[in-house]
Amino acid sequence: MNKVGIIGGGAAGLMAAAHCKGDVTVLEKNEKLGKKIYITGKGRCNVTNNCALYEFFPNIVNGEKFMMSSLSAFPPPALMELLGANGVRTKTERGNRVFPSTDKSSDVISALVNAVRKNGAKVLLETEVNSVEKRNEEFVVNTNNGEFTFDKLIVATGGVSYKATGSTGDGYKIAQAFGHKVVSPVPALSAIELIGDVKPLEGLSLKNVSASVKIGNKTFSRFGEMLFTDKGVSGPIILTLSSYINRFNLNGEKLCIDFKPALSPETLDARLSGDFVEFRNKDLANILCGLLPKAIIPYVLNQSGISGSIKGHSITREQRYALGYSVKNLMFRIKKLADVNLAIITSGGVELKEINPKTMESKLVNGLYFAGETINVDALTGGFNLQCAFAMGRAAGLAAGEYQ
């Protein structure tokens, strides 16, 4: 019987084990399976995104074309059906985000483990793979629990984010040992650290703002929600931006926030003008409270070069223009993205050109497969990353299975 080894019992590895036919063994270094799945979606697990595939693909930042085959064969409804068949009903929330109806990520893990058991695959916990080599058409896998040999091997070891969950980049070393190129891992869906003191803004949450980063002649821009942290910025639009700018040298680049993206500069100027007439005897800092969150006002005044104690009636047209400009273009300098260990996912990994997108088999080594975050695929938030990992895992599992 075809002996298949699967390194990694995360999203991709478990899905591979649920589909692979033969004598299948999952080698997982942790004491339990799916440790990262457990912390996804703040413990609720945003397991997929129930949108049409043509809407799904643009959410893949790297590997959109590569993912077409495996995702078309295993789209979100198929995943929801599999979870249902293994005891977990799902619900769809805002933005087509799908969660288990119990809001418990542990239920998703249980469903996957159930599917693995039904398929008859074995699981070896606390079994860490140290190295792999190919001898006489067999994969010889060295672990802390001894040596194993397999006819086929699926590497599903994840990236290098949240290392405490077990993803420590081991798959990259295995791939490199077999001659594969690995695109250097960088943070994706990451917070952005800023230069200068933003501590007074910590906890400030903004809605309906636009954040943009201009690098060379390219501008990356997103509209929606964001928040300030002790060191910089985070939140949905910042995480998304980070995934598009993570390959640039960001030190010193400008992050620009538009607090009133719905207002044209002329409309905003008319609004300011009206406010300064209406509240002519009030201090500027107080007048701006009607327009902006209080904590941000000193930053807007500082950039505009205007004192907050000036009265509404004495503000000049030039000062008003400067204020309007800062409200729509408040600048911060970027230091860097947060450490990759704190990023939601890792961008980079095994080079896609060297993997068959339909079967996930290496184009360099027969019988070697890769799946999940360990390869150079990353997507935006919303359940897209897990769905990609599941689709790749299934494709690899089916292909490595004995009926192939």
Ligand X SMILES: Cc1cc2nc3c(=O)[nH]c(=O)nc-3n(C[C@H](O)[C@H](O)[C@H](O)COP(=O)(O)OP(=O)(O)OC[C@H]3O[C@@H](n4cnc5c(N)ncnc54)[C@H](O)[C@@H]3O)c2cc1C
- Residues that bind ligand X in the complex, under the rule CB under 6 A: 7-13, 27-30, 35-37, 39-41, 45-46, 128-129, 156-158, 161-162, 165-168, 170, 344-345, 372-374, 383-386, 389
Q: What are phi and psi of 135, to 5 degrees?
A: -125, 125
Residue 268 or residue 344: which is nearer to ligand X going by CB?
344
CB of 48 to ligand X, least distance (A): 7
CB of 130 to ligand X, least distance (A): 7
Scan for tokens 């800062």, then name that residue: 326
Whole-angstrom Cα distance, residue 367 to residue 354? 13
d(CA 50, CA 92): 7
Element (H, E) at 49: strand 48-49
The DSSP 8-state label assigned to residue 351 in this structure reads -
| For ligand X, the closer CB: 128 or 151 | 128
Sheet of 3-7: strands edge to edge?
Answer: 122-124, 23-27, 3-7, 152-155, 368-370
CB of 232 to ligand X, least distance (A): 18
Q: How far is the CB of 181 from ligand X (least distance, A)?
A: 19
State phi, psi for 230 to the nearest 5 degrees.
Answer: -65, -25
Q: How far is the CB of 93 from ligand X (least distance, A)?
A: 12
| Closest alpha carbon to 159 in 17, 74, 62 | 62
Residue with smaller CB distance to ligand X, 156 or 284:
156
Closest CA to 244 of 221, 269, 216: 221
Beta carbon of residue 18, minimum distance to ligand X (angstroms, whole number): 13
Q: Quick one: DSSP state of residue 199?
A: G
Contact in structure between 76 and 98 (CB atoms under 8 Å): yes
C-beta of 22 vs 158, nearer to ligand X = 158
Q: From the CB of 295, what's the least distance to ligand X, in Å?
A: 27
CA of 374: how far to CAs of 157, 176, 182, 360, in Å? 6, 12, 9, 12
240 Cβ contact list (under 8 Å, min separation 6)? 189, 222, 380, 381
Q: Nearer Cβ to ligand X, position 39 or 263?
A: 39
Cα-Cα-Cα-Cα torsion 103, 108, 110, 113, nearest 10 degrees, comes to 180
- Supply the minimum distance, in Å, between the C-beta of residue 148 and ligand X: 11
Nearer of residues 10 and 185 to ligand X, judged by Cβ: 10
Q: What is the DSSP letter of 273?
A: H
Nearest approach in angstroms of CB 12 to ligand X is: 4
* In the block, residue with structure tokens 């926030």: 257
Answer whether 109's CB lies under 8 Å from 33's CB.
Answer: yes
